[in-house]
Amino acid sequence: MDACEEKPTPPRKTIVIGEEEENKKVLVGFAVWLGITVLAAGLLDLFLKGIPLGFTFPLINIEASVSMILYYVAIIVAAVYIGVVGLKELVIERRFSVEFLMAVAGLGALLLDYRFEAATVLFLYCIAEYFEGYIQDRARRTVEKISQVVPEKARIIADGREVSVNVDQVQTGAVVLVRPGERIPLDGDVIEGFSHVDQSLVTGESVPVPKKAKDCVYAGTLNTGGVLQVVVTKKSSETLVSRIIQLVIESQKRKATIERLVDRFARFYVPIILGLAVFTTAVLPFVFGGGFETWFYRSLILIVVSCPSAFIISVPATVFIAITIAAKRGVIIKGGIFIEKLAQVKQVVFDKTGTLTLGQQAVHRVHRVDISRAEDESVMYAAALDQYSNHPIARAIVRRAVERGIDLSKIKVSDVVEVPGKGIVGMVEGKHVAIGNPEFMEELGCDCMDAFEVTTGDTHTAVCISVGKTGWATICVVDQVREDALQSIGLLKQQGVRTVMLSGDREAIANDTAKSLGIDEVHAELLPQDKLSCIEHMRGKEGLVAMVGDGVNDAPALAASDVGIAMGTHGVDVALESADVVLVNDELSQIPYLLKLSQKTMGIAKQNIAGSLAIKFALGALGLLGWVPLWFTVAAGDDGLTLLLLLNTLRLERLKS
């Protein structure tokens, strides 16, 4: 199946900033306003003491100062806004949010007349929220950037003239004109022209790819050279870009186990902390002595320190950043759960044809029975017939003839009959010519024993050519191994990962391929159900199993493995739907990188959780002893810690291939 001819995917969704991001923008405004207000109030308290700026409110007879008014206005406005967000989550979602805890802490400190601490708590919270949003948005913008580069207009050729229309209105079968320097608006096949296309934004390839007639091009990629005419094969909602965006969006719904544990932990953790704060205020004054005000202040410290925002935010952010980093390299991971599983993979199972190999046969050698006959003569007779066949071996022989400069259009061919699974016969330049396997040649009564004897022990697929009734030669073809296969297998072995190959080919051919690549274990002559049985047998023995495949016969094994990895460029729909990870550009070198990325991601996530809990426990204990002020616990124990953990997460971007 052509790479461009795939089943329609769900409509494309452009990522937009939602309510949560808008809330963060409002918080930034509050942070700036709070900072100015707190600074002004602090300066008044510090430098203008003794200057009669105070006055008494009428009716209530309360003395006030300009600095006090600035503090109160700033704190109350910010606490009310943050508190509304917190109450909304408490009432609608039935969970205690960070906003709710911060509003309680700010208003509680204000009640105790700790104006500077209250204002500082809310100011630091607003600033931290901004940076949290900024760091998370860096990951979102990666995917948003992909959606934004797709042109809004397409230049179609209709009735011999160019017409500019919206891409959403272009139907399949329309012809689109793309000039140099323009981005291709829709997926399609080139029908005229030649150019180099920069596909880096979609597939991760760093070098522009040459495109000629019959080659597939993708929406959003950049035409760097000549003029191209492209016949549209997918609507705007069905393009590869739409598929990538949709998969990345949906990946956020498939949380890793560690993310779900953090969510459940936070759900029970916050109410327990609130209970401890009430206990601190109501009971500890009678146990250890001290006034209500002292212990109420310390309970506020406990509330602030116990805000779970650090690990609630940092762990999902770590996983999502890893997913977007992979997407930039042309790898789609369909959820955090698969990041977690990839980190535990100890066995990688490869399908052979189309995965380790290109799935494209090529002539390896020509064994001539009569060495006095030229090799090109045998290839000419074979290619003359094979040009009428779609069999992979036939196409390989035709390509060999074209490479040798043989003009097949000048050769007289007639009476061509193809026998599926066996061979092809016909008349070439008035001579009876047959090509096929030994059984077929024997059925035809052709004497090809000498031809096949010269290939005894050869691990390549061989077909015999007979002219008249005499065997002239045997052509051996081989499925070409991918250029990066050997390097990828070597990197996996360096990581301590066991490699296995599954193949439906003959055992000799499969063993030869596996030996050349250094694969640890080989299973050959397998049917689809046999591949499934192999995967089920391997699971649970030496860690998790990842399966890499591309075709229909790989779908059951992809679905049964712990992590299914599909080759995306030529992978058919059923394989892509069954897989958990998609290699958009079919680069096997991405697999060792994915394992490293996943392991580092889970390592950072665990570091963030452990570091967060340790620091919060220490600050909570110091706060109950009265050794740290409220504003310091916000700066160090909650917002400052969250920023530190998010910066730790950004180390993922430094991971090299």
Write the DSSP symbol of residue 389: -
For residue 499, what is the enclosing H or E element?
Answer: strand 498-502
Tokens standing for 583?
A: 């290699």
Phi–psi pair at 54, nearest 5 degrees: -80, 160
User: Which of helix, strand or coil describes residue 282?
Assistant: helix
Between the alpha carbon of residue 330 and those of residues 240, 338, 567, the distances in Å are 11, 16, 11
Nearest to 281 by CA among 294, 269, 268, 262: 294
Tokens standing for 205?
A: 């390839």
Write the DSSP symbol of residue 633: I
- C-alpha 81/C-alpha 64 separation (Å) is 24
Beta strands in 58-194 (DSSP E): 63-64, 153-158, 161-166, 175-178, 188-192
Rg (CA), the chain: 34
HSE on the CB side for 138, CA within 13 Å?
16
Q: What is the pLDDT of residue 519?
A: 93
Contact 266, 580 (CB under 8 A): no
Q: Give the residue numbers marked as catalytic.
A: 351
Place of tokens 């207000």: 37
Tokens standing for 176?
A: 């689109």
Q: What is the pLDDT of residue 92?
A: 76
Q: At what angle do helices 257-282 and 292-305 cross, to 10 degrees?
A: 180
Q: What is the pLDDT of residue 376?
A: 80
Report the 10 Å Cβ neighbour count for 276. Answer: 16
Q: What is the pLDDT of residue 5?
A: 43
Predicted confidence (pLDDT) per residue in 14-46, tens digit: 333 344 455 555 555 655 666 666 666 666 665
- C-alpha 305/C-alpha 638 separation (Å) is 6
HSE on the CB side for 470, CA within 13 Å?
6
Q: What is the pLDDT of residue 60?
A: 39
Q: What dihedral do alpha carbons 80, 81, 86, 90 form, nearest 10°?
A: 70
Contact 178, 184 (CB under 8 A): yes
- C-alpha 393/C-alpha 423 separation (Å) is 10
Q: What is the pLDDT of residue 55?
A: 40
**Which parts of the chain have pLDDT scores under 70?**
1-67, 79-81, 93-98, 124, 127-149, 200-207, 244-267, 269-270, 308-312, 359, 369-373, 447-460, 471, 551-553, 569-578, 634-635, 637-639, 657
Q: What dihedral do alpha carbons 408, 411, 415, 416 form, nearest 10°?
A: -20
Nearest to 318 by CA among 44, 655, 650: 650
Q: What is the pLDDT of residue 59?
A: 40
- C-alpha 157/C-alpha 227 separation (Å) is 13
Q: What is the pLDDT of residue 2?
A: 44
Contact 565, 581 (CB under 8 A): yes
Write the DSSP symbol of residue 471: E
Tokens standing for 406?
A: 């043989």
Q: Looking at this protein, which amino acid is placed at residue 395?
A: R
Listed in sequence order, the DSSP H helices in 149-256 are 200-203, 240-251
Length of the chain: 657
User: Which of helix, strand or coil describes residue 74?
Assistant: helix
User: Which of helix, strand or coil describes residue 57?
Assistant: coil
Phi–psi pair at 198, nearest 5 degrees: -85, 110
- C-alpha 9/C-alpha 47 separation (Å) is 66
Report the 10 Å Cβ neighbour count for 445. Answer: 9
Place of tokens 């199993």: 545
- C-alpha 287/C-alpha 280 separation (Å) is 10
Q: Is the dihedral of CA 442, 361, 396, 367 positive or negative?
A: negative
Q: What is the pLDDT of residue 51?
A: 42
Residues in contact with 144: Cβ distance below 8 Å, sequence separation at least 6, in sequence order: 14, 15
SS3 content of the chain, % helix, strand, coil (to 5): 55, 20, 30
